[in-house]
Structure 1
Amino acid sequence: MPVSRVISEASTLERVDTSAAQSGRTAALDGRSVRRHALGVTDRSAISNEQWERMAPLVASLHRRGTRGRSDRRFVEAVVWLLRTGSPWRDLPASFGRWGSVYQRFRRWAAAGRWEALRQALGADRAVDELLLIDSTIVKAHPHAAGARSGQSSEALGRSRGGFTTKVHAVVSSGGRLVRFVLTGGQVNDVTQATRLVPGLQGRAVVGDRAYDSDEFLACIREQGMAAVIPSLANRKIQRALEARMYALRNVIERFFGRLKAFRRVATRYDKTAASYAAALALADSMIVLSGWAA
């Protein structure tokens, strides 16, 4: 047989094998599914069967209409895939459905507060006697996050030393559960949001760094029957004693922020509206809870 014909047949077989590998086959892997797309990208289904069993009844309770003609799991997995990869909406793989439909449903849920309701339902088992750790983290905003009709300041975008940024102010329990969070522009001082975060919460003490040493905030903590484990500013005439072992637990909230930023669409903000970014953050926290992570 001529060499040229052998080479031609080998090339044909290689193209057939490649086509089969890219044909959208699905295989099982640790209770997840592996999808192979035409671009050669392998996508893991973001939610295991065990996680979905816990999440499914909560998701079903968030919408009044039935699920006929649509898959809640595929929808949630699509959004989680975007959170993990940081991809644009238009690059959503076709196996998750039309990107426009997924985006519109995500926006409806964000506007209705359903992602936050899901987060709170999953984290409802927090012990009330835990410490409350308060801190903030800066998130870089992509240039595409600009341009909202309502203006940047009303969408929690601003300018800080880090450039175009958003700041996430949060309270996390000593067990590693996100209790409450607020979004502002990156230039906003931490202590200005402290009195929005703590009211109505229960715990043994509030732990924060020197940025939270404010008479108003300290009074707010005392009124709720909690202790304040916050170092005194250097210019205070009377320095407060500090419980060192409690203060050392601040590492929990720092590690929690690290977990959140493992989701690329949280680590960098692409969303124009604060509602959409808050929804992404809420879903990321839900996935952390489902993963079983705890401090």
Structure 2
Amino acid sequence: MGRGDLTNAGWDRLESFLPAGGTRGGRWSDHRRVINGVLYRVRTGVQWRDLPERFGPWETVYKRHRRWSADGTWAMLLSKVQAAEDAEGQIDWDVSVDSTTVRAHQHAAGARKTPAATAPQKGASQRAEQADPAAETGRPAGSGTQIRECLGRSRGGFTTKIHLAADGRCRPLALVLTPGHHGDGPQLEPVLEQVSVPRTGVGRPRTRPDRVLADKAYTSRENRRYLRRRGIPHTIPERRDQQKHRRNRGSRGGRPTGFDREHYKKRNAVERAINRLKGFRAVATRYQKRAYTYLGTITLAALII
């Protein structure tokens, strides 16, 4: 077992959930060796062709990762582990929401336009399944493909943005990708809609946190209205311009929003979760052209965490 490979305890937790058959009815090659190969690449960020020979043919490792990213196998494994943790009371349901910008490598550009049948798995950008808008807007060809693949231009350059919700123990619960120039506030609802931890016994998955914590980027009225509608207590500071506007309106401005400074101190959990995710070099820099394969890479990193 090499450094960074699955431990025996980790393999025991995953083995029973892994699919047994291949695409033609046969059995896949050793799952543990292939998963260790994917982990090596996610941890180091090397090109697939440079994988050490001990992981077997690099094409096998790459194709397995691409397939499991597309069909949701990585997401399924993450939900199974989350369910087991929740059953043991190991999930802190004070959930923090934030985002981080990831620089995309030049090799991440140039994805070909693909039919809707190959759309990314659940959790990718909400615009991933829309048609290429370039013909309607007059923008250069391929710009719609970049939006669909969650690539955009921001202050950081050619970037993708990862929006995530993390529990109080600094572990990701939900992930959403958008182009790098998209704002944080509008993604609060899509991120929280992805929070779904199954029950190990009878019952619906748990989808409602005990409390949501977020910074001023999420302080819009729409977000607060959405949280109140779902009955989720929240700790989100109000921007000064919003406070001034509310006071200027007098009684029509409504009551001040509640803000608990002690609860807000726990928001650093999502910052620490982002720091742990970016310890994986293939997460800290995006090399994949397709959004669903990059989301699969992040999901695997969250699974290991």
User: When the two structures are superposed, what TM-score results if normalisation uses the length of structure 1?
Assistant: 0.79
State the partner residue of 2:18. Answer: 59
**Alpha-carbon deviations, 1:217-267, whole Å to 9, x = none?**
101101111112000111222542311111111111100111101100001
State the partner residue of 1:132. Answer: 95
How is 1:229-248 mapped onto 2 (pairs within 5 angstroms)?
A: 229-236=235-242, 237=246, 239-248=256-265
State how far apart, in whole Å, the 2-side matches of 1:248 and 1:45 are: 32
- C-alpha contact (below 8 Å) 2:43/2:282 kept by paired residues: yes
**Alpha-carbon deviations, 1:253-290, whole Å to 9, x = none?**
100111101100001000100000000001001111xx
**Alpha-carbon deviations, 1:62-86, whole Å to 9, x = none?**
9788774610000100000001110
State the partner residue of 1:82. Answer: 41
State the partner residue of 1:104. Answer: 63
Q: CA deviation at 1:60?
A: 3.9
**Alpha-carbon deviations, 1:172-206, whole Å to 9, x = none?**
11133322111001100001111212247312221
Aligned partner of 1:260: which letter?
L
- C-alpha contact (below 8 Å) 1:74/1:96 kept by paired residues: yes
**Alpha-carbon deviations, 1:27-72, whole Å to 9, x = none?**
xxxxxx24xxxxxxxxx35111121111211224697887746100
Of the structure 1 ranges 120-129 and 226-235, higher mean CA displacement relative to structure 2 is found in: 120-129
State how far apart, in whole Å, the 2-side matches of 1:139 and 1:147 are: 18
**Alpha-carbon deviations, 1:92-147, whole Å to 9, x = none?**
11111111122112111111111111111111233587212110011111111111
- In 2 relative to 1, CA 255–65 (structure 1 residues): closer, same or farther, beyond 3 Å? farther
State how far apart, in whole Å, the 1-side matches of 2:216 and 2:98 are: 10
State the partner residue of 2:111. Answer: 148
Gaps of 5+ in 2: 114-144, 196-206, 248-255
State how far apart, in whole Å, the 1-side matches of 2:238 and 2:17 are: 43
- C-alpha contact (below 8 Å) 1:111/1:275 kept by paired residues: yes
Aligned partner of 2:188: which letter?
A
Report the structure, 1 or 2, having the larger strand content: 1
Gaps of 5+ in 1: 1-32, 35-43, 289-295
Q: CA deviation at 1:165?
A: 0.6
State how far apart, in whole Å, the 2-side matches of 1:121 and 1:171 are: 17
- C-alpha contact (below 8 Å) 2:21/2:27 kept by paired residues: no
Percent identical among aligned pairs is: 39
Aligned partner of 1:183: which letter?
L
- C-alpha contact (below 8 Å) 1:130/1:175 kept by paired residues: no
Aligned Cα RMSD in Å? 2.0
- C-alpha contact (below 8 Å) 2:33/2:55 kept by paired residues: yes
- In 2 relative to 1, CA 212–69 (structure 1 residues): closer, same or farther, beyond 3 Å? closer
Q: CA deviation at 1:160?
A: 0.5
Aligned partner of 2:226: which letter?
C
- C-alpha contact (below 8 Å) 2:20/2:28 kept by paired residues: no
Q: Based on CA coordinates, which of the two structures has the bigger radius of gyration?
A: 1
Of residues 196, 218, 221, the one that matches 1:212 is: 218
- C-alpha contact (below 8 Å) 1:123/1:177 kept by paired residues: no
State how far apart, in whole Å, the 1-side matches of 2:285 and 2:21 are: 28
SS in 2 for 1:206: strand
Of residues 162, 169, 179, the one that matches 2:156 is: 162
- In 2 relative to 1, CA 245–102 (structure 1 residues): closer, same or farther, beyond 3 Å? same
State the partner residue of 1:225. Answer: 231
State how far apart, in whole Å, the 1-side matches of 2:280 and 2:92 are: 30
- In 2 relative to 1, CA 163–207 (structure 1 residues): closer, same or farther, beyond 3 Å? same
SS in 2 for 1:149: coil
User: When the two structures are superposed, what TM-score results if normalisation uses the length of structure 2?
Assistant: 0.76
Which structure has more relative contact order (CA 8 Å, sep 6+)? It is 2
Aligned partner of 2:278: which letter?
K
State how far apart, in whole Å, the 2-side matches of 1:134 and 1:122 are: 21
SS in 2 for 1:152: helix
